[in-house]
Copies of this chain bind each other. A is one copy, B any other.
Amino acid sequence: MRTNNLSKGVCPVRSVLDGIGGKWSILILDILGEKGTMRFGEINKVLGDISQKMLTSTLRLLEADGIVSRKMYAEIPPRVEYELTELGRDLLPNIRNLIAWGHKNIEVIQRNRESFKKNI
């Protein structure tokens, strides 16, 4: 399926993974998968320490890939709702597995990091 050359031109999967490999994408997908539909401010609040700028650009990226949908309501004040598309819901289990793995192994990894620091 894959050749033994992973350079960018030969392995286009990299461009896909780059999209969801961003600093915030996984978190956003996870929380959207859990809540179903969320407003901009709601996501912003749940994530806690993301800036408006990063949230906007990450949502745009996911929207461009067709992983997240964006619905704007012509109201005052404006309301914008985000949710996973079918593609996004298909991706979700993979994300969830990764997060679950992280949870399961977080103590081990933190110990590994500690002992690695000492053996320098």
Q: Using Cβ atoms and an 8 Å threshold, which residues of chain B touch A80?
A: none
Interface of A: prevailing SS: helix
CB of A66 within 8 Å of the partner chain:
yes
Considering only CB atoms, which chain B residue lies closest to A25 in the complex?
B21
Q: List, in ascending order, chain B residues with CB within 8 A of A66's CB.
A: 108-109, 112, 116
Encode contact with B along A77-90: 1 for CB under 8 Å, 0 otherwise: 00000000001001
Determine the chain B residues whose CB is within 8 A of the CB of A21 once the complex forms.
Answer: 21, 23, 26
- State whether B94 touches A98 (Cβ < 8 A): yes
Report yes or no: B5 in contact with A46, Cβ–Cβ below 8 A: yes
Residues of B within 8 A of A12 (CB): 106, 110
